Amino acid sequence: MTFIFQILHVLIIAYIFIISMRILLGWFPGAQYNKLYEIMVRMATPYLDLFKGIRFLRQGPFDFTPFVGIMVLYFFAELFRYLAFYQMITIGIVLLIIVMIIISAVNLFLLVFLIIAGIRFFSLYSHSKSRGLLWDNIDLILQPVIRIVLRFFSTKLPYRNLLLIACISLGAVLIASHFLLVPFIQALFLNIPF
């Protein structure tokens, strides 16, 4: 039975990879003319369409329904992984999987903000053309992070310094989450006896 759970885990992870590649390639013009992309669309779209009805996840140009679809698949992949390893499922394991998915989602968004802030910081630092519609949109995306930084530091700092502080802060939160929070939560939930 362990082997079956391992196979199911691997198949779901492979399907998550196909969905992720379909989403990423969809951002590039001309990808729809690629035969491999067409296959990915045929494989991923029926599953992703299950989540299209969740309207609050579609805000303006942003559609987070694929992200939710991937998280649901990830839940089942982890469930099968734990079944293969422990040959049982407890409430603690289910809670652990749910909490770890939430932590992973938050860390993913923090990582995206870190990458965007880093790109913006280096564009300002290199004195390249750092004005324009693209940079204005990036600054708009970064505003929530900059507001948090401004709560702790002087508002008289140049924007470039605020971006650097934001990058360092986001990196520290991600590292602390990985090395401190995740092991603590794993130990806590895996010790629930039922």
Cα 167 from Cα 163, distance rounded (Å)? 6
The values of phi and psi at residue 62, to 5°, are -95, 130
Three-state DSSP class for 88? Answer: coil
Amino acid at 13: I
Residue pair 86/192 in contact (Cβ under 8 Å)? The answer is no
pLDDT in tens, the chain (194 residues): 889 999 999 999 999 999 999 888 887 777 778 888 899 999 999 999 999 888 888 877 778 889 999 999 999 999 999 999 988 899 999 999 999 999 999 999 889 889 988 888 888 877 666 677 778 888 888 888 888 878 887 667 888 888 888 889 899 999 999 999 999 999 999 888 77
Residue pair 192/95 in contact (Cβ under 8 Å)? The answer is yes
The values of phi and psi at residue 51, to 5°, are -100, -5
